[in-house]
Amino acid sequence: MLLGACSGQKKASTAGQESIPTYQIKASYGINVDDPKALVASADYSFVGIVKRETGTSYQNPIPLEQADGTTKKMGEAYTHYTVQVLANLKNKLVTERSIKVTKQGGIREDHSAYDVLAGDSLLKADQAYVFNAYAQADGTLLVSGKNSTVPIKDKPVDAIADSSVVKTYQAAVGTLSAKELEAKQKASDDAQNSQ
pLDDT-derived band at 156 (thresholds 50, 70, 90) equals confident
**Mean model confidence pLDDT for the chain:** 86
| Domains contained in the chain, number | 1
* pTM for the structure as a whole: 0.82
Residues of the chain with pLDDT > 90, as a percent, come to: 66
Q: What is the 3-state secondary structure (H, E, C) of 87-126?
A: EEEEECCCCCCCCEEEEEEEEECCCCCCEEEECCCCCCCC
Please, which pLDDT band fits residue 157 given cuts at 50, 70 and 90? confident
Which residues, in sequence order, are bridge partners of residue 80?
Answer: 57, 104
Per-residue pLDDT band for 8 (boundaries 50, 70, 90) equals: very low
Say how many C-beta atoms besides its own lie within 10 A of residue 155's C-beta. Answer: 12
138-149 pLDDT, tens digit each? 988 999 999 999
CA distances from 82 to 27, 93, 132, 176 (A): 22, 19, 12, 30
Do the beta carbons of residue 52 and residue 126 sit within 8 Å? yes
Segments forming the whole domain that contains residue 73: 2-194
Per-residue pLDDT of 55-64, as tens digits, reads: 999 999 998 8
Banded model confidence at residue 122, pLDDT cuts 50, 70, 90? very high
Q: Across residues 30-40, what is the average pLDDT? A: 96
- Is residue 18 very low, low, confident or very high in pLDDT (cuts 50, 70, 90)? low
pLDDT at site 13:
38
Mean pLDDT of 18-26: 89
CA-based nearest residue to 9, from 147, 148, 117, 122: 117
Three-state DSSP at 184 gives: helix
- CB under 8 Å to 34, separation ≥6 — which residues? 147, 148
Task: Pick the range with the lowest mean pLDDT from 25-29, 37-41, 73-77, 175-179.
Answer: 175-179
Higher pLDDT, 181 or 164: 164
